[in-house]
Amino acid sequence: MQRPLSKEEQEWVERTLEAMSLRELIGQTMQDHAGRLPFKGDDEAALRGYLAQYPVGSFFIGGEVIQKAAGKAEDYRDWTVMLQRISKVPLLFSGDLEFGAGSAVKSLTAFPPLLALAAADDEALAYEYGKYTAMEGRAAGFTWALAPGTDLLLNWMNPVITTRCLGDDAGRAARLSAAVMRGMQDYGIAACAKHFPGDGVDYRDQHIITTINSLSEEEWFSTYGHVAQTIIDQGVMSYMTGHIALPWIDGGDAAAKPVPATVSERITTELLRERMGFDGVVLSDALDMGGFLAWGDYEKRIIDCFNCGTDVLLWPGVRYFAVMEQAVADGRVSRERLTASVRRILEMKARLGVQFTSTAGEDGMALPLLDDKLPPKLDRQVRQLSRELAGRCITVVRNRTGQLPLNPQTVRRVLVIMLNKVTEGRKYERMNLFVEQLKARGLQVDILDEFEPLTTLRQWEQSGISWDAAFAPYFLPLHGMMNTARPVGEAAKAIWAMQHAETIKPIGISFASPYLLQDIPFLDTLVNAYSLHEDTVELTVKALFGEIPFQGNSPVHADSQDDYHGSRGLQKT
Amino acid sequence: MQRPLSKEEQEWVERTLEAMSLRELIGQTMQDHAGRLPFKGDDEAALRGYLAQYPVGSFFIGGEVIQKAAGKAEDYRDWTVMLQRISKVPLLFSGDLEFGAGSAVKSLTAFPPLLALAAADDEALAYEYGKYTAMEGRAAGFTWALAPGTDLLLNWMNPVITTRCLGDDAGRAARLSAAVMRGMQDYGIAACAKHFPGDGVDYRDQHIITTINSLSEEEWFSTYGHVAQTIIDQGVMSYMTGHIALPWIDGGDAAAKPVPATVSERITTELLRERMGFDGVVLSDALDMGGFLAWGDYEKRIIDCFNCGTDVLLWPGVRYFAVMEQAVADGRVSRERLTASVRRILEMKARLGVQFTSTAGEDGMALPLLDDKLPPKLDRQVRQLSRELAGRCITVVRNRTGQLPLNPQTVRRVLVIMLNKVTEGRKYERMNLFVEQLKARGLQVDILDEFEPLTTLRQWEQSGISWDAAFAPYFLPLHGMMNTARPVGEAAKAIWAMQHAETIKPIGISFASPYLLQDIPFLDTLVNAYSLHEDTVELTVKALFGEIPFQGNSPVHADSQDDYHGSRGLQKT
């Protein structure tokens, strides 16, 4: 549970609460998106007018992890200082700091993703992962990380949380997510566990439709419930609900449509708040996601979301104020319910110390930035952590024929079969990092990266070319809205071609889904590297050639025989 | 079972067999691909030399159904006449005549696919489907249809047989596939049931890897086994084995790799030939498919394929002759086994009457072509069948709010949300047929077909545009090597956007997978039309506006509540 507030903190909360108008109360319960303001973000006069009309309680800043990091740390910090100066009640600034502050801010440090952290499986490392995220993050103006992920990758087909979670084992995920959370919160940033009641069971994407966690009550408590209870008991300050239904507790009108947690009182209040004892802030997932839109019209969605027990609604847009004012006026939303949420939000603000923001807007608890980074010694420590994790996550899933490590003396010419293309029109350039690393070793590299790979491989083989090793690197961007994590389109064609090549035995390397064997079961050799993180790619190549050991342990059952029966998705007939 | 041969037929078989050299015997057991000759196909001198060196027993001609129909009927016929004139033993000419002869030859009649036939569920119609395929096919030189499909769509995720099969009910599939087969064989074309032991259980594609039919013995016999036994008992002349494993009967070395039927003696000889009593020709599926390549090097693959009980190998390439000569010489292949296969092939030729081909190569049993079509009266009958089936297959899967049929008096402006794009770079133009049909009715059509559909829809709605109806047509090409049948990429993004549109209630129309509700469960209205067949698209629009009734019955459980639990593919933990 969270630490009790001090007497001074408690007094600040009550004093602030008493001074608020209805509109200001409502404002605390929404989180705005800094990237969606209807004017240039650095226009101070416009911002003053905006906040006077829409006194929101928090802003989301930085890039979205599902898209990409963006911007400079100093710019974000300066913006937050200006906003604090303007705002009557101190604001919180949240970001998608899932894999280091660099996953939201381009100039900060990006860590390998959570699944890599799970492959290293070291609680001390996980604590530092959270700690350095917080130190960099708060220096750049963030006070609220929408992290860590507490989801479990129970369905290998899940297209959303692929490498954004801590694997499929609830014990490991509980231990590591709680450590990341403690690291964050010990260093000045509120963590937000996500998602409740847990993503990773459905084969679909809550960005697209409402998804379903179909576990039974017993199964849920021994998996997602265990992770949630652990991180709650250790004091996580906030929890994000997902657009995910949990039929064992809220079946709704099952024939019509599932009830996502973001509108379910049974899930959010009865289960999370009452049964599990969560006393922090409940933040909804983004309200423009497909999983929420289907619930009803805007007004119904918003009011159901608030009334089910949500404290803060993520990105409802400023229409929210009028809808909520009307709903309070006509009794659809109770003032007590509103005050209870705002009190929880202010308590979180007090715990983060934002009440001590100077009148100039300065955050006395933030580390300074030098050249857009932390001071040199700390900066080195953060970068070092990133590299250490990169080295420790790389996992040999299969090495059946003892092909690894490769002999650098005899391997001179290699074939790279690119599994990073969906169609002729769309491929993922970052795979070039891998090819560059091979070339930097002086290797002769042939690249198979085209529309008719079978024909080309045949021609190459018939012309007498042979290779000392062949690599089949796979990449699909982290949640690229593909609705799948599997190799599709041209990548699948290349899998066909890989088997034709009688002169080669391809080494699979997944820089994305850890479940590549589901679609390429014939691989004798597979390495999982979890991301195209720069250090990871460099160290993967070193490990392939035996210069460093492979140290990761697979955080999912990536090579279970049970997985190859081919009947996934088989209908009951 | 097949009809016994007449005394004359039997004599022709034995006489022909006795006159054959070893190389000629070997040649009967391979099927060549007319599109892969190493010279121009109309070069008679080159063909003479080729057949003298490689006396193959049959040629595949026409387009491949998984790609597209190609060419003119007269050109194919002329080519087969020339080949028969040259060949010592009369040849067979096979084609992917799955949905009418038009699925292989562009100028002939393309029918709606098998799944549409299953939606109409009329045995008499199925017989005509086979009959007219054979009449047009034989007129164009074909004597062997690689059809009908006997697969069952038990796994909604299966990416290969989506609309190429007769649904998920074994009784219906048995009835209809046998009727198609009888229609074909009564009118001069050998049918080839495919695939044994049955595709449709795996979520993967045997073109890419060896797939697995994971049913138990009991389950298999009550589903695939029932279909196979029915079509065998009614006398199908040939059966195509797939690169599909059947672990209940041949587990192989399960840890290493699955054993596809194409190399499995247990599946091909013990099950198909002995236990089920199949006495026709076993043809392998194409040997350049990924599902076969992984078995071993070329020589091992070929010899295992022949020795397991295959009579004819599909597209092994002419390397086949040398490998088999050596294998017979050193005893790895027995002469008795070879003779037994050739006898079965010659018996099939005798049943088809190709021994009566004139010395000029003319096929006396083929109907004449006029203007590249059947004579006018017959041609009209074939086209009429195609249109009749188109009208009878269109299926209302859901009409929860009674939105269908639309009122042509009040619907003036419509929105079309295109679900036919994987990425910015790849969309399927044939969907334009649907839009053209709407415009031809005088409707004002707005098309949402772009990279950020959510933003655009918002803008349109905010600008006050509203629609009287909205359609969300879905298409992914039949086996486009996508490794998925689901809406992915841009199509998935459009599903997100569909829910934002508060002014519309989209009507889903699938021109591909019948299982669209798995990814778009919120649809209140869904029509399955199974293909972009021209008549079907035109009649779908008529049915939407109430001008003709919807007559199809879903041949799969397309709207079963069991399907929406989201846990497809969930790992056992």
Q: Looking at the predicted structure, is the pLDDT value of residue A426 above 70?
A: no
Q: Is the pLDDT of residue B573 over 50?
A: no
The answer to whether residues A76 and A41 touch, using CB atoms and an 8 Å cutoff, is no
Per-residue pLDDT band at B563 (split at 50, 70, 90)? very low
Mean pLDDT of B339-355: 97
Query: Which ranges constitute the DSSP H helices of A19-164?
Result: 22-28, 44-53, 73-86, 114-120, 123-139
d(CA B488, CA B508): 16
- 8 Å CB contact of B294 and A257: no
Angle between the N-to-C axes of helices A123-139 and A170-186, in degrees from 0 to 180, rounded to the nearest 10: 40
Q: What is the largest CA-CA distance in chain A?
A: 82
- Chain A nearest C-alpha distance from B523 (Å): 10
pLDDT at A390 over 90: yes
Residue B506: asked if its preceding bond is cis (omega within 30°), the reply is no
Domain assignment present for residue A1? The answer is no
Which chain A residues touch B519 with a CB distance below 8 Å? 204, 208-209, 483
The verdict on a CB contact (< 8 Å) between A492 and B482 is: yes
Examine the domain organization and report whether B435 and B484 are in the same domain: yes
User: Is the confidence at residue B496, as pLDDT, over 60?
Assistant: yes
Q: How confident is the model at residue A569 (pLDDT cuts 50, 70, 90)?
A: very low
> Over 90: is that where the pLDDT of B457 sits?
no
Decide: helix, strand or coil at residue B120.
helix
In whole angstroms, what is the distance from residue A181 CA to residue A189 CA? 9
- Is A204 an 8 Å CB contact of chain B? yes
User: Using CA atoms, how far apart are residues B13 and B16, in angstroms rounded to an integer?
Assistant: 5
CATH number, residue B553: 3.40.50.1700
State yes or no: pLDDT of B568 exceeds 60: no
Do A326 and A438 fall into the same domain?
Answer: no
Residues in A closer than 8 angstroms to B204, CB to CB, are: 519, 566
Q: Please list the residues that pair with A118 across neighbouring strands.
A: none
Q: Is B483 on the interface with A (CB under 8 A)?
A: yes
Q: How far is B446 from chain A (nearest CA, A)?
A: 22
For residue A493, the tally of other CB atoms under 10 A from its CB is 24
In A, which residues are within 8 Å of B208 by CB distance? Answer: 492-493, 495-496, 519
Cβ contacts of B288 on chain A, cutoff 8 Å = 454, 500
Residue A78 has pLDDT above 70, yes or no: yes
Average pLDDT over residues B341-363: 96
Please check whether residue A29 is in contact with residue A306, taking contact to mean a CB–CB distance below 8 angstroms.
yes
Asked if B402 has any chain A CB less than 8 Å from its own CB, the reply is: no
| Separation in Å, CA of A247 to nearest CA in chain B | 9
The SS3 assignment for B57 reads coil
Cβ contact B496–A202 (<8 Å)? no
Residues B192, B93: Cα–Cα separation, whole Å: 13
Q: What is the pLDDT of residue A490?
A: 85
| Count of beta carbons in the 10 Å neighbourhood of residue A42 | 11
> Angle at Cα A352 formed by Cα A347 and Cα A354, nearest 5°?
90
Kindly report the average pLDDT of chain A as a whole number.
93
**Average pLDDT value for residue range A151-164:** 95
| Eight-state DSSP code of residue B98 | B
B511/A193 Cα distance (integer angstroms): 41
Lowest-pLDDT range of A366-380, A452-466, B416-430: B416-430
Q: Which residue of B has its CA nearest to A168?
A: B573
Contact between residue B492 and residue B523 where contact means Cβ atoms under 8 Å apart: no
Sequence length of chain A is: 573
Identify whether the C-beta of residue A283 lies closer than 8 Å to the C-beta of residue A192. Answer: yes
Q: Which of residues 139-198 of A touch B (CB under 8 A)?
A: 154-157, 168
Question: CA dist A514 to A118, A159, A163, A350, Å?
Answer: 12, 12, 8, 41
pLDDT at B562 over 70: no
B401 CB within 8 Å of a chain A CB: no
Rounded CA-CA distance B156/A203 in Å is 13
- Same domain? For B367 and B501 the reply is no
Residue B570 lies in a domain: no
Q: Which of residues 498-517 of A touch B (CB under 8 A)?
A: 499-500, 502
How far apart CA B26 and CA B54 sit, in angstroms, is 9
Q: Which two tokens stand for residue B402?
A: 């009674």
Helix (H, G, I), strand (E, B), or coil: what is residue A84?
helix
Percent pLDDT > 90 in chain B is 83
d(CA B406, CA A194): 43
Round to whole Å and give the CA distance between B251 and B245.
Answer: 8
Q: Are residues B399 and B373 in the same domain?
A: no
Structure tokens at B222: 């009550």
Domain count of the fold of chain A: 2
Q: Are residues A406 and A372 in the same domain?
A: no
| A318 and A429 together in one domain | no
Position B76 in a domain: yes
pLDDT for the residue numbered B564: 45
Task: Examine the fold and report which residue of B352, B377, B402 is the final residue of a domain before the chain moves on.
Answer: B377
**Record: contact B561-A422, CB cut-off 8 A:** no
Helices (H), B373-452: 376-393, 432-440
Burial of A346 (0-12, 13-18, 19+ CB in 10 A): buried
Whether residues B438 and B352 fall in one domain: no
**pLDDT confidence of residue B255:** 59
A444 in helix, strand or coil?
strand
Q: Which residues of A touch B483 (CB under 8 A)?
A: 486-489, 491-492, 519
- What pLDDT is attached to residue A570? 46
Structural contact between residues A127 and A183, judged by C-beta atoms closer than 8 angstroms = yes
How far, in Å, CA of A364 to CA of B349, rounded? 91
Model confidence over B22-48: pLDDT tens digits? 999 999 999 999 999 999 988 999 999
- Cβ-based contacts of B422 with chain A (< 8 Å): 422-423, 426, 489
Do residues B85 and B139 both lie within one domain? yes
At residue A447, the 3 state secondary structure works out as strand
Q: Name which of A84-93, A218-227, A447-456, B50-59 the model is least confident about.
A: A447-456
- In degrees and rounded to multiples of 5, residue A351 shows phi and psi of -65, -30
pLDDT at A133 over 70: yes
Pick from A272, A291, A289, A270: nearest CA to A281: A272
Whether pLDDT at B479 is above 90: no
Would you state the torsion angle of the CA atoms of residues A362, A364, A368, A373, taken in this order, to the nearest 10 degrees?
-80
Distance in Å, alpha carbon of B44 to nearest chain A alpha carbon: 27
* Domain edge (last residue) among A377, A403, A428: A377
Average pLDDT over residues A406-421: 93
Whether residues B155 and A492 touch (CB distance < 8 A) is answered with no
Identify all chain A residues contacting B257, using CB atoms and an 8 Å cutoff: 521-522
For A322-340, give the DSSP string. HHHHHHHHTTSS-HHHHHH
Residue A223 domain flag: no
pLDDT of residue B500: 76
Residue among B289, B284, B337, B338 at smallest CA distance from B313: B284
Of B154, B254, B422, the CB nearest to A573: B154
Antiparallel, parallel or unpaired: β A525-528 and A444-448: unpaired
**pLDDT score for A563:** 46
As a 3-state breakdown, chain B gives helix, strand, coil percent values, each rounded to 5, of: 40, 15, 45
Which neighbouring-strand residues pair with A444?
A413
Q: How many CA atoms lie within 13 Å of A178's alpha carbon, on the beta-carbon side?
A: 18
Q: Which residues of A touch B156 (CB under 8 A)?
A: 569, 571
CA–CA distance, A27 with A44 (Å, rounded to integer): 19
Q: Is the peptide bond before B260 cis (omega within 30 degrees of 0)?
A: no
A478 with A544, same domain? yes
Contact B569 A569 (CB under 8 A): yes
Give the separation between CA B437 and CA B408, rounded to whole angstroms. Answer: 14
Residues B164 and B247 in one domain: yes
To the nearest whole angstrom, how far is the Cα of B445 from the nearest Cα of chain A? 24
DSSP 8-state code for residue A204: S
Cβ of residue B66 closer than 8 Å to a chain A Cβ = no
Structure confidence at residue A489 as a pLDDT band (50, 70, 90): confident
Question: How confident is the model over B401-411, as a mean pLDDT?
Answer: 95
Average pLDDT over residues A44-71: 90
Count CB neighbours of B233 within 10 A.
14
User: Is the minimum CB–CB distance between B452 and chain A shorter than 8 Å?
Assistant: no
The whole-number pLDDT of residue B381 equals 98
DSSP character for A109?
Answer: P
Query: B565 vs B469, which has greater pLDDT?
Result: B469
pLDDT band, residue B427 (cuts 50/70/90): low
> Phi then psi for B93, rounded to 5 degrees?
-120, 115
In whole angstroms, how far apart are CA B33 and each of A64, A211, B145?
52, 47, 14
pLDDT at B424: 60
Q: Is residue B2 part of a domain?
A: no
Chain A positions touching B493 (Cβ under 8 A) are: 208, 481
CATH number of the domain to which A144 belongs? 3.20.20.300
pLDDT over 60 at B368, yes or no: yes
Asked if B491 contacts B468 with a C-beta cutoff of 8 angstroms, the reply is no
- Alpha-carbon distance of A540 to A537, in angstroms, equals 5
Cα separation, B118 vs B177, in Å, equals 9
Do B466 and B553 fall into the same domain?
A: yes
Contact A565 B212 (CB under 8 A): yes
The chain A residue lying nearest B505, using CA atoms, is A294
Q: With beta carbons less than 8 A apart as the criterion, state whether B390 and B384 touch.
A: no
pLDDT exceeds 70 at position B566: no
Alpha-helical segments (H) within A150-216: 170-186
Per-residue model confidence (pLDDT) at position A573:
30
Contact A135, A145 (CB under 8 A): no
Q: How many CB pairs under 8 A join A and B?
A: 212
Q: Buried b / exposed e across B517-533, counting CB within 10 Å, b at 16+?
A: bbbbbbbebbbbbbbbb
**DSSP per-residue string spanning B245-267:** E-TTT---STTT----GGG-HII
Per-residue confidence (pLDDT) for residue A464, from 0 to 100: 87
Chain A hits for B290, CB-CB cut-off 8 Å, are: 495-497, 499-500
- Cβ pair B8, B34 in contact under 8 A: no
Q: Which of residues 318-337 of B touch A (CB under 8 A)?
A: none
Instruction: Note whether B213 and B241 are same-domain residues.
Output: yes
DSSP H helical ranges for B447-523: 453-462, 490-500
Its domain, for residue B159, covers: 7-377
> Which single residue is written with the structure tokens 């199908």?
B236
How many CB atoms are located within 10 Å of the residue B571 CB?
19
Report, as an integer, the average pLDDT of B69-82. 93
Residue B570 has pLDDT above 50, yes or no: no
Is residue B572's pLDDT more than 50? no
End-of-domain residue from the set B347, B377, B407: B377
Residues B258, A293: C-beta atoms closer than 8 Å: no
SS3 state of residue A92: strand
